[in-house]
Amino acid sequence: MYQTPLPLEYASLGEDETRARIRAAKERLGERVVILGHHYQRDEIIEHADYRGDSYKLAKDAGAHAQAEFIIFCGVHFMAESADILTPDHQQVILPNLAAGCSMADMANNFQVQSCWKQLQAITDVSKIIPVTYINSAANLKAFVGERGGTVCTSTNAPAAVRWALAQGEKVLFFPDQHLGRNTGVRLGYDPLVDMVLWDPFKPLGGNTAEAIQRANFILWKGHCSVHKRFTVEQIEKARRTYPGVRVIVHPECELEVVQASDENGSTEYILRQATEAASGSVLAIGTEINLVNRLAKENPDKTIFCLDPQICPCSTMYRIHPSFLLWILEGIEAGEVRNVVRVPDNIAEPARVALRQMLKVL
Ligand code: SF4
């Protein structure tokens, strides 16, 4: 979807006026709108959110406000699509900036996944392969999974979702994040060198031999998160040298060796809970998006909380949700002009809903 340029009257507003007008518009709209803010959003967006969470929590929160006409999703495109699929038809889901996508989600598209499936069909019994897509994927890939008896997973429920999938079949096709897939498989006791193959969508058979695929339990799509890929073992070693006794917690979208060098790994909600519940005086080095880590540090002044990579940039696509876009959306609704509605067509939404509901069942 294409984002039209923000009108100059919004783009040129100062921070204080934007904030004041967002508050006023939200107040006037009352229960007609609910604003959801992903943890990786900047503080200037989070301060207006009725709910904050990771993609799993927000997918559930989106369904809890049946009276709201508009759900304004301050996150990225695949999250708004999931919210639209899970909410009733009378609710409209809005993404304030349609250019807010996810580079990881873009690493697997419908054409590539269909082609992968056809190639697998030629060398193995695909009825024994259960597709599992990370929630960070387009709606048509969730539909692909729903049509084939698979499930969506999140970083919160990935181990349970993969365990469930392996109980339905013999193999899992996991996309688009190879790291979450690999870390989950290792957590469940599988050997990354023996039980897993990597599927490169630009190579025949994903760059594997038919025998290797036939032997494997996990076919991992060659995708990654550009934010979490930046964390390294060297950063962890440096943090341990600088702060002996530091507790290192990383997100499972990080590479396997980083996860193995950490003390714990878990979803964004898990990281948030650990930081909040840690004893006063604790020192925590975190491997996830910088906006969240800085917020945790600010909200827990009695602890030392820092990002493993101080140079890390924020998730650049999340960052496209600027407060000016939020204001443009809210004032548009007041004026009767509903902008940036994300609507998934029924033929995609129905099978995708099957896979998303399966995700909500598995914990
Ligand atoms: S942090 Fe990574 S996975 Fe999450 S939205 Fe940004 S690019 Fe996508």
The CATH number of residue 200's host domain is 3.40.50
201 and 246 housed in the same domain = no
69 and 176 housed in the same domain = no
46 and 33 housed in the same domain = yes
| pLDDT on residue 313 | 67
Give domain status of residue 337, yes or no: yes
160 and 65 housed in the same domain = no
207 and 247 housed in the same domain = no
Largest CA distance in the chain: 63
Tell which one of 154, 178, 226, 313 to mutate to probe ligand 1, the residue whose CB is within 8 A of the most ligand atoms.
226
113 and 183 housed in the same domain = yes
Name the closest-CA residue to atom 5, ligand 1.
102
- Domains in the chain, number: 3
81 and 94 housed in the same domain = yes
Q: Give the strand order in the sheet containing 218-221.
A: 151-153, 129-134, 171-175, 218-221, 196-199
> Which residues are CB-neighbours of 289 under 8 A, at least 6 positions away?
39, 40, 227, 268, 312, 314, 315, 318
Give domain status of residue 2, yes or no: no
Structure tokens at 54: 């990771």
| pLDDT on residue 54 | 87
Q: Which residue range is the domain that position 213 belongs to?
A: 105-225
Asked whether the beta carbons of 322 and 99 are under 8 A apart, the reply is no
Average pLDDT, the chain: 95
Q: Of 162, 197, 225, which residue sits at a domain end?
A: 225
CA gap 295, 80 in Å, rounded:
23
Alpha helical stretches, state H, 233-267: 233-242, 256-261
159 and 247 housed in the same domain = no
Name the closest-CA residue to atom 1, ligand 1.
315
Which residue in this structure is represented by tokens 């909040």? Answer: 276
| pLDDT on residue 55 | 81
107 close to ligand 1 (CB < 6 Angstrom): no
123 and 216 housed in the same domain = yes
CA gap 188, 120 in Å, rounded:
24
180 close to ligand 1 (CB < 6 Angstrom): no
Asked whether the beta carbons of 274 and 244 are under 8 A apart, the reply is no
Burial of 363 (0-12, 13-18, 19+ CB in 10 A): exposed
Detail the DSSP E strand segments found in 39-121: 51-53, 70-74, 92-94
| Residue 280 backbone phi and psi in degrees, to 5 | -55, 140
Name the closest-CA residue to atom 6, ligand 1.
315
Give domain status of residue 84, yes or no: yes
Name the closest-CA residue to atom 3, ligand 1.
225
208 CB-side CA count, 13 A = 24
Asked if residue 5 has a cis previous peptide bond (ω within 30° of 0), the answer is no
Give domain status of residue 360, yes or no: no
Q: Of 225, 244, 277, which residue sits at a domain end?
A: 225
12 and 79 housed in the same domain = yes
331 and 271 housed in the same domain = no
**Closest by CA position to 89, among listed 359, 356, 360, 353:** 353
Give domain status of residue 19, yes or no: yes
Detail the DSSP E strand segments found in the chain: 33-38, 51-53, 70-74, 92-94, 129-134, 151-153, 171-175, 196-199, 218-221, 247-250, 264-265, 283-287, 304-307
144 and 243 housed in the same domain = no
The CATH number covering residue 49 comes to 3.40.50.10800
Give domain status of residue 349, yes or no: no
SS3 state of residue 223: coil
Give domain status of residue 14, yes or no: yes
135 close to ligand 1 (CB < 6 Angstrom): no
Give domain status of residue 37, yes or no: yes
CA gap 155, 149 in Å, rounded:
20
The segments of the chain whose pLDDT lies below 70 read 1, 312-313, 363
| pLDDT on residue 131 | 98
Q: Of 194, 225, 256, which residue sits at a domain end?
A: 225
Radius of gyration, alpha carbons of the chain:
21
